[in-house]
Amino acid sequence: MKLVVLTGGIASGKSAVCATLAEMGVPIIDADRIAREVVEPGRDAHREIVEAFGEAVLRPDGQVDREKLGKIIFSDPERRALLERITHPRIGVRIAERVAEHAAGGAQAVVLDIPLYLENLERGSGAPLPADAILVVHVDPETQLRRLMARDDLSRPEALARIEAQLPLDEKAGMADYVIDNSGEPGETARQARSVWERVTGGDGDEKALEGQQGGSR
C-alpha cells in the first residue's frame, strides 16, 4: 500500500483536493483531526500540556485553546519544541495505527492530509511516517491571499502574516513528487486531482513526475 502525503499552504486548496479524492473513494487520514484528538481532556498529552504551559492555555470547557498555544509557540522555538515533544509522538502513533488499519483492509493507497508536513521535515522535527509520494496543492500567491482573506475574514496584513509563517508554496512545490495547481476553476483542480491519483496508483512510486509535464510511463 502506498502512503501519499497531501500538503500545501494555508488556503491553497487542500480541502478541495481532499474532497475530490474522497468522492473517488480514496481513504484519507486527517492529521489535523488526530492532532486535536490527542490533546482532548483526559488524554496524557492534555495533562502534560497543562503541566508545561499552565491552566491559562485551557478554554473554560477544559479543551486546549489551540489558538492561545499557537501564539505562545509562534516566536519561541524552545516552547514549540516542548509542545512537539508532547504531541508529535502520539500523533505519529495514531497515524501509524490508521495507516495499518487501511493496509489490513486491503487499501491500495491512502492519503495523509497533513498541512505542515514539509515545515516539520525542514525543521528536522520529523515526519510521522516516510511517504511514498508527496503531493502539493499549489496556488499563485495573489489568489492564495485573496482566498484566505475571504475564507477567514482577514485583512490583507493578517492574511500575509499567516502565509509568511509557512514555507513559500513555490519551495514546497519543489519538494513535491506531484503538484496540483489550484489557481483555476474548481473543475480544473478536480481534473488534475483525478489525473494525479491515476498516476500515483498506476506508477511504481519511484519516478518523480509533475502534473502538466510530459507524463512518461505514468
Residues in contact with ligand ADP by the rule CB under 6 A: 8, 10-16, 147, 151, 182, 185-186, 189
Question: Smallest distance from the beta carbon of 165 to ligand ADP, in angstroms?
Answer: 14
Alpha carbons 180 and 56: distance in angstroms, whole number: 41
CA distance 125 to 107: 29
| Rounded-to-integer distance, Cα 40 and Cα 48, Å | 11
Closest to ligand ADP by CB, 109 or 193:
193
Minimum separation from the CB atom of position 125 to ligand ADP (A): 21
Q: Which of 99, 104, 97 is nearest to 132 (CA)?
A: 99
As measured in angstroms, the least distance from the Cβ of 10 to ligand ADP is 5
Nearer to ligand ADP, 11 or 64 (CB): 11
| Phi-psi map region of 111: left, alpha, beta (phi>0 left; psi -120 to 50 alpha) | beta
DSSP letter for 11, please.
T
Nearer to ligand ADP, 87 or 189 (CB): 189
Task: Give the C-alpha distances (Å, rounded to integers) separating 170 from 6, 130, 149.
Answer: 15, 22, 20
Task: State in angstroms the smallest separation of the CB of 65 from ligand ADP.
Answer: 21
> Between residues 49 and 113, which has the closer beta carbon with respect to ligand ADP?
113
